[in-house]
Amino acid sequence: MLMIPGPTPVPERVLQAMAKHPIGHRSADFSAIFGEVTENLKWLHQTKNDLLILAASGTGAMEAGIINFLSPNDKVLVCTNGKFGERWGEVSEAYGLNTQYVKADWGQPLDPNAIKAALDAGPDIKAVIVTHSETSTGVINDLQTISSYVKAHGALMMADTVTSLGACSVPVDEWNLDVVASGSQKGYMIPPGLGFISVSEKAWEAYKTAKLPKFYLDLGPYRKNTAKNTTPFTPAINLIFAMQSALQMMRNEGLENIFTRHDRLKRATRAAIKAMGMPLYASDDCASPAITAVMPEGLDAEQIRSVMKKKYDIILAGGQDALKGKIFRIGHLGFVSDREVLTAIAALEATVIELGGKTTPGSGVAAAAAVFTQK
Ligand SMILES: *Cc1c(COP(=O)(O)O)cnc(C)c1O
């Protein structure tokens, strides 16, 4: 049972769709599927912008976003409050961009006013890069407010929405997000291997003069081919089958229901952890809908993960970098229901008790159940 922030559980029906023999990608049959998938991804992104599909993980989609619309030495503002924000700084530096930072401590959200101040001080900033849901800490940033400041400034708004898309509303058009990147193994209910990127008209304007080198990730050919329901290179055909099936499930569930389900899973998980007497790493007002980070004071987070895996076959994520051993992270993203959260919390209670932690048996399950049975 995978309770990590990617890869996430894959529905049986999606696995079946993937198990088909590949078909030729230069065929009418494939184009029909590809067109349907692209349309449904736009629905999920709430956008009329181009939506391009890459054979890449989320990092590949973000790299494409960074390199297609900028030139060497362009000034970019990278906003970091965790591991993934730091990664986009590394990509920017690797490509020789003039990389400026606005930082917040791990576990804290980005301060939109600090970003506004940096924008006011930097009229020549070309792009602002923000990780919406910072998976390393379980913090969600106020992308909507940040994006409004970026729009007023005129820079391009580039967002990593890898663990927010499919978990909470990311209205790409309404929030004026120019470049939005995500990956298939998170909120999309399929295995790793596809990257998604949406591109606004304003970003395409910048593309015309952008000079960073690119070839496989040059989004121009993807745009041209996507308009004809095809791809510039061989697509990950079976993952497209999977995506078709998963998107049909999402359309059946409906956007609002998907978002309220994730919100409920988040609230139940947090209520359970609090009731068990364990501190949460992120506070309530900036808690990611995809993942909950827990600091089990007095217990080794890695030991908890180890017992959860060995005894209950439930996989939790650990902490990264300085947080290793200090936190564990419970993913509740994608194909996850109340049942998985109740099961994980029950196993966690038993694990904590086995390791000599102080918690009242049943307290976590009762708190989660109370959220799930709220009228
Ligand atoms: C998983 C993740 C990514 C992408 O990682 P890949 O391993 O390249 O798929 C990017 N950003 C965030 C916030 C993530 O959680």
pLDDT tens, per residue, the chain with 375 residues: 999 999 999 999 999 999 999 999 999 999 999 999 999 999 999 999 999 999 999 999 999 999 999 999 999 999 999 999 999 999 999 999 999 999 999 999 999 999 999 999 999 999 999 999 999 999 999 999 999 999 999 999 999 999 999 999 999 999 999 999 999 999 999 999 999 999 999 999 999 999 999 999 999 999 999 999 999 999 999 999 999 999 999 999 999 999 999 999 999 999 999 999 999 999 999 999 999 999 998 999 999 999 999 999 999 999 999 999 999 999 999 999 999 999 999 999 999 999 999 999 999 999 999 999 998
| CA-proximal residue: ligand 1, atom 6 (nearest) | 58
Domains of the chain, CATH where assigned = 10-252 (3.40.640.10), 255-372 (3.90.1150.10)
- Determine the distance separating the centroid of ligand 1 and the alpha carbon of 58, expressed in angstroms: 5
Cα(276)–Cα(344) distance, integer angstroms:
13
Distance 184 CA to ligand 1 centre (A): 10
Cβ burial of 148 (10 Å; 0-12, 13-18, 19+) is middle
Q: How far is the CA of 186 from the centre of ligand 1 (A)?
A: 8
Pocket of ligand 1 (CB under 6 A): 5-6, 57-59, 84, 131, 133, 135, 160, 162-163, 183, 186
Nearest-CA residue for atom 14 of ligand 1 = 162
Backbone phi, psi, residue 103, to 5°: -120, 150
Nearest ligand 1 atom to the CA of 62 is 10
Residue closest by Cα to atom 3 of ligand 1 = 58
Q: Where are the alpha helices (DSSP H) in the chain?
A: 12-18, 28-45, 58-67, 83-94, 112-121, 143-153, 201-209, 219-226, 237-253, 255-275, 301-312, 338-354, 363-372
Q: How far is the CA of 83 from the centre of ligand 1 (A)?
A: 10
Q: Is the pTM of this model over 0.95?
A: yes
Q: What is the DSSP secondary-structure string of 223-292?
A: HHHHTTT--SS---HHHHHHHHHHHHHHHHH-HHHHHHHHHHHHHHHHHHHHHTT--BSS-GGGB-SSEE
Q: What is the pLDDT of residue 247?
A: 98
Query: Whole-angstrom Cα distance, residue 190 to residue 183?
Result: 10
Q: What is the Cα–Cα distance from 140 to 333, expressed in whole angstroms?
A: 14
- Alpha carbons 366 and 374: distance in angstroms, whole number: 12
